[in-house]
Amino acid sequence: MEPFQRYRDVVDDFEAFIDACERSLSMAVRVNTLKATPEQVERAFDEAGIGYERADWHPHVVRVETDTPGVTWPSIHGWVHGQEEVSAIPASVLAPEPGDRVLDACAAPGSKATQLAAEMQDEGTLVANDNNLGRLSALRFNCERLGVTNVAVTNRDARNFSLKPFAAEDEHEGPQFDRVLVDAPCSCEGTIRKNPDALDGWSEDHVAGIAGVQKGILRRAIQVTRDGGHVVYSTCTFAPEENEAVLDHVLQKEDCRLVDYDLALEHDDGLTGWRDTEFDPQVAKAKRVYPHQNDTGGFFTAKLEVSA
């Protein structure tokens, strides 16, 4: 936990934070509303003798008393998808509607992409992109298992994602997206409760390097979103270099603004400064979820609106 010592002056009740990070994380699933209702899933868990508790902040997130939710009957048949509880935040914040044109810029293995499809009621167009070819098989498998049909899977570097493949013959660039999710690759500090080796090889150089990638992905996401459209940026790390500093950079480079949103989980606001750097005050509208606040993993989420 040595890398976390740099957050001692940032996190309230730091000792509780460290204690939570050292405890294993309980399992959770998301009800796939394309195939089942929460009530149907609960009846199936009752029949299987699996204990459960519905999360009070999200109607489709269920905490389950099993270490192997992926081998349960509801999971095999696509009624539920094993998903860390806080992982359900970004798609809920993006809140796509049926008929929208949506891009998940870093989609594999598909937890958030399939959640977006459920939010869209499988209507409209969902482009699920990932630059890692090896992970696309898991993305496709999850889309098929969960009954997603409105998805197009692409293999591109999100930093230079092109709209041309989606353009009609008379269009130069192609149609822009209504909403984009950037659940960016990150240093994964917030996953320490399920991945005890998450800090192996951690260094500030690695954090700085991946922050450069995140800035490129988020800038391109804003560029391919229509005026008035929304982009959600999220990571599962605590590092300000990968969170608020990325937002601060993009606010300076692109025509966009941060907007507030409701989150029915205990959280902290985004940091307005880190070490000797002050950030744009707008970054306070981002939200940080720490493990000790809700007995979950750690997460960071921000919502941006694109403007001309």
d(CA 117, CA 34): 8
CB burial string 59-74: b at 16+ within 10 A, e below: ebbbbbebeebeebeb
Q: Closest Cα partner for 266 from 55, 91, 29?
A: 55
d(CA 83, CA 29): 5
What SS3 class is residue 177? strand
What SS3 class is residue 254? coil
d(CA 128, CA 102): 9
Residue 250 token pair: 């993009």
Per the CB < 8 A criterion, the answer to whether 233 and 259 are in contact is no
Q: Residues 154, 136, 110, 123: is their CA dihedral positive or negative?
A: positive
Taking phi first (over 0 means left), then psi (-120 to 50 degrees means alpha), and beta for anything else, what does residue 67 get? alpha
For the annotated catalytic residues, the residue numbers are 236
Contacts of 201 (CB under 8 A, 6+ apart): none
The stretches of the chain forming alpha helices (DSSP H) are 14-21, 38-48, 73-76, 89-94, 111-119, 136-145, 204-223, 244-253, 291-294
